[in-house]
Amino acid sequence: MRLKYKLPLIGMLIFVITFVSVWVATPKTSTNFTITGIFVQNIEVFFVVFILTLFFINFFVRRILDPINKLILGMEKVEDGDYTSQIPIERRDEFGDIAIQFNKTVEAISLRDEELRAVNEELSASLEEISETSTELLEAYDEISKRLQNEKLINTLSEIFYSKKDWNELLEAILIHTKEIIRADRCAVYFQKERQECFNVVKSINFSELDKCIGYKKDEGTIGWIVENKEELLVTDTLNDPRFVFKYSWCADISMLLQIPIFDEETEVIGIISYFGNDLNLNFTPYLKQLSKMVSVTIQNSNLITEVERTHFSIIKGLVKAIEFKDSYTKGHSERVMEYSLMLGKKLNLSNKELKILRYGSILHDIGKLAIPDNILLKSGKLSDEEYELLKSHSEKGVEFIKDLKFLEDIMSIVRNHHERIDGKGYPDGLKGDEIERLTKIVTIADAYDAITSEREYRDALDEKEAIEELIKHKGTQFDSCLLDEFIEMVLGSQQGIAN
């Protein structure tokens, strides 16, 4: 029970004790021995007791409750977080001790609170730092992921650049490898062929056959803008961008277009790589620009190589003409040997490099004849042994002719060994079987076939059937058996084709 209730009860108890005491002290014979009588008779006593009780209660209330209230007030302040409140120590009794202890406790709590606040601040700072570090880590992770993706893309594309010599294949490979990364729905490469007015689709993914036939004029739409401004173009709202021309049935389904120009050596736009979609990943745009520069260089190199090869072949044709001027009977022979050799080479699925060697080697196989005196080369009668030896030297002399021409170094074997035989009875080195290179064996067969089917001053030309029979007579001795079978099959096949 709380003191404020206890004290009135104590007062009432004192009053009752006083009354009982008075009742006991009052003689039982008194006529006023009733409760009212006793009370009336001793009214002064009760009044004094009442006043004393009130005074007593007031005294104790002040004495006990005041310090308690101050203590409660202090505790409430502490509860509210105010650790500066102190209870004034006015007495040296138990309440004074409580106040001292309370003040000490509050001081201790205050110190602890300061420590906690400091720790809390440190924790907050650490948390903030962790949060910042975490954000930095996430950014770093994103960056690393992006870089890894970019590295992967660059590695893949580098491999493509090294492996693909033909830039058409290169463009196709680029589209295949970038479409997913750019998140494009469709992509295409447009090219302006030989300074024409239009940019046409040369490679594409997810373009219908009809789409592939649709191009842009060089001053039309986004392509026109790129040709004029010579920079990449990003359209993020195709519907409302006046530069975007709706040419394909699916144009309304896409909202974004990214186009990267490809320049020629004069920085004119010759091609445009285009990505169509709704959520294009633009992080790779710088890499695409780099890629387009690499494509430009590859195309320029390719054009340069084509030009150089054209020049080389013009030189070769000039040399062939020189042979034909010298020996009119062999007119057209070199070119026909080249055609037969290439036909067989293609039938055998030779690589482009091998076909190129075959092309140059077959047309120049008799280049050494330029060094043979006319009286021997053009002699209609039988050659003496000495003259024949001199004629045979054309294969070695041919090598002398071309040995300083770097672009012809791969055909040396054909020029030197086109008169070798499988049985080792050929010249100049008497090579046998597989000592003779495969390409040389092809030229040997083509050379013999054309010589047999061509008219000479000293004999008539054989027809194809007779020529084949003649070749078969030397199968496995002069000519490689497998290659001769293939050659005959090819000749018969072409005859069949003509007959049909």
Which member of 172, 185, 366, 480 binds Fe ion (CB under 5 A)? 366
Site for Fe ion in 26-55 (CB under 5 A): none
The span from the first CA to the last CA of the chain, in angstroms, equals 128
- Give the range of 80-88, 212-220, 364-372, 474-482 binding Fe ion by CB under 5 A: 364-372
Q: How far apart are CA 261 and CA 223, in angstroms?
A: 9
Q: How far apart are CA 87 and CA 76, in angstroms?
A: 12
**Which residues are within 8 A (CB) of 347 and not within 5 positions of it... i.e. 6 or more apart?**
486, 489, 490
- Give the range of 177-185, 284-292, 322-330, 358-366 binding Fe ion by CB under 5 A: 358-366
Q: Max Cα separation, the chain?
A: 195
Q: How far is the CB of 415 from Fe ion (least distance, A)?
A: 9
**Which residues are within 8 A (CB) of 336 and not within 5 positions of it... i.e. 6 or more apart?**
446, 450, 454
Q: Which is nearer to Fe ion, 366 or 420 (CB)?
A: 366
Q: How far is the CB of 347 from Fe ion (least distance, A)?
A: 23
Q: Which residues of 143-181 are buried (b: 16+ CB within 10 A; e: fewer)?
A: eeeeeeeeeebeebbeebbeebeebeebbbbbbebbbeb
Nearest residue by C-beta to Fe ion? 366
Please count the other Cβ atoms lying within 10 Å of the Cβ belonging to residue 431.
19
DSSP state of 256: E
Q: Which is nearer to Fe ion, 190 or 360 (CB)?
A: 360
Q: Which is nearer to Fe ion, 161 or 360 (CB)?
A: 360
Q: Which is nearer to Fe ion, 274 or 440 (CB)?
A: 440
Q: How far is the CB of 365 from Fe ion (least distance, A)?
A: 6
- Asked whether the beta carbons of 199 and 215 are under 8 A apart, the reply is yes
Q: Which is nearer to Fe ion, 324 or 366 (CB)?
A: 366
If one asks whether residue 420 binds Fe ion (CB under 5 A), the answer comes out as no
Q: How far apart are CA 338 and CA 355, in angstroms?
A: 10
Q: How far is the CB of 418 from Fe ion (least distance, A)?
A: 6
- Give the range of 14-22, 73-81, 285-293, 362-370 binding Fe ion by CB under 5 A: 362-370
Q: How far is the CB of 470 from Fe ion (least distance, A)?
A: 17
Q: How far is the CB of 385 from Fe ion (least distance, A)?
A: 18
Q: Which is nearer to Fe ion, 172 or 447 (CB)?
A: 447
Q: How far is the CB of 156 from Fe ion (least distance, A)?
A: 48
- Give the range of 44-52, 192-200, 211-219, 360-368 binding Fe ion by CB under 5 A: 360-368
Dig out the tokens for 302 from the structure: 């390719």
User: What's the count of helices (H) and strands (E) in the chain, helices before strands?
Assistant: 18, 6
Q: Which is nearer to Fe ion, 220 or 396 (CB)?
A: 396
Interface ranges with Fe ion (CB under 5 A): 366
